[in-house]
Amino acid sequence: MKTTAEVVRVKQAMAWIEEQDKIHLTATVPGGGPVVLTAEETRRLAQRLERLAQILEAVQERSKE
């Protein structure tokens, strides 16, 4: 169950927060092959995952209050 509206997507790679304690990541194309990213797409995915990690930390902090 997704617990935030934040979903990261670069090409066929997607990540989201579940149960307020995990980041889920999928990265496949039809047929089960790998997702192939350029250097720029990889940087963008890394930046978006960093932002998602920050959101997860904030959600966890709020749940402790």
At residue 54, the pLDDT reads 94
At residue 4, the pLDDT reads 55
pLDDT digits (tens, 9 = 90+) for 1-50: 455 567 888 888 899 998 888 999 998 888 888 899 999 999 999 999 99
At residue 1, the pLDDT reads 43
- Alpha-carbon 29 to chain mean position: 17
Query: Is this model's pTM higher than 0.85 or not?
Result: no
Largest Cα separation within the chain, whole Å, is: 45
DSSP state of 32: S
For residue 1, the number of C-alpha atoms closer than 13 Å in the C-beta half-sphere is 3
CA–CA separation, 47 and 26 (whole Å): 16
Torsion of CA 45, 46, 48, 54, to 10 degrees: 160
Q: Where are the domains of the chain?
A: 2-64
